[in-house]
Homo-oligomer: A and B are copies of this chain.
């Protein structure tokens, strides 16, 4: 055929083959802090995610993860994700990691679309203005402690709905598969991305410092523990928690007062 690579490349036309579109979808996670009626009680912590209400076909009026099409000429998938986040919540330089690539043949009714998903973590307090009016934070509540049937309630203050799935774990590879059993409000296969992303974060906060991307600069160990508990959806023992977290935090000279109980020392994240 061709004698040199240059010659080959000059004659190569990608349009001779079937092509496809790709999107980046972002699971943006943060922590909500809900004031309690009882002044003594500590603020409740919940994991929350950003959803966007679609005002175009397909899945018009359903909620979905922020996402958008890759520009194949200029962008990496992470570039796309960053561009979308900038647009939706006006945020830059936040933590992001690739989650998984979703590629069911019929996952998008428009055409063949393969989507690479990303997990992004942020301290919600940093987001103040210029959030897309169609975007909204939903607090997550894990309804079941059951490890097989996972029920999640999503609530943004005015809308509330549930997604449910059956989780199965392959014995040998420990890889997790989710079979969606309930979903009336979320578009595409995005519920699966949510389930998988939470799984990833749950695993990783046990052996990484990922939580701190969602924490404010100063926090108490009690708050930090509540955040762990919200993500893992289980109670932790205080002494054990403090022992294991000790190497990751640094005590400050500040304390948090005015709360009807012994004031707690404020800590910051200690790298390394």
Contact = CB atoms under 8 A, between A and B. Distances in A.
A71 B74 CA distance: 23
A20 interface: yes
A104 interface: yes
Q: Is the interface of A mostly helix, strand, loop or mixed?
A: loop
Nearest to A77: B103
How many copies of the polypeptide does the oligomer hold? Answer: 2
Given A58-B5, A101-B101, A105-B74, A20 B20 contact: yes
B69 A17 contact: yes
A213 interface: yes
Contacts of A71: 18
What class of interface size applies to chain A in its complex with B? Answer: 35 or more
Interface in A75-103: 75-78, 95, 97-98, 100-101, 103
A250 interface: no
Interface in A187-215: 204, 207-210, 212-213
Interface string A45-79: 00000000000011010000000011111111110
Interface of A: 2, 5, 8-9, 12, 14, 17-22, 57-58, 60, 69-78, 95, 97-98, 100-101, 103-105, 109-112, 114, 116, 171-175, 204, 207-210, 212-213, 271-272
28 contacts: A2-B57, A5-B57, A5-B58, A5-B109, A8-B57, A9-B58, A12-B111, A18-B73, A19-B72, A20-B22, A20-B70, A22-B22, A72-B112, A76-B103, A76-B104, A76-B105, A77-B101, A77-B103, A77-B114, A78-B103, A95-B172, A97-B173, A98-B100, A171-B209, A171-B272, A172-B213, A173-B204, A173-B210
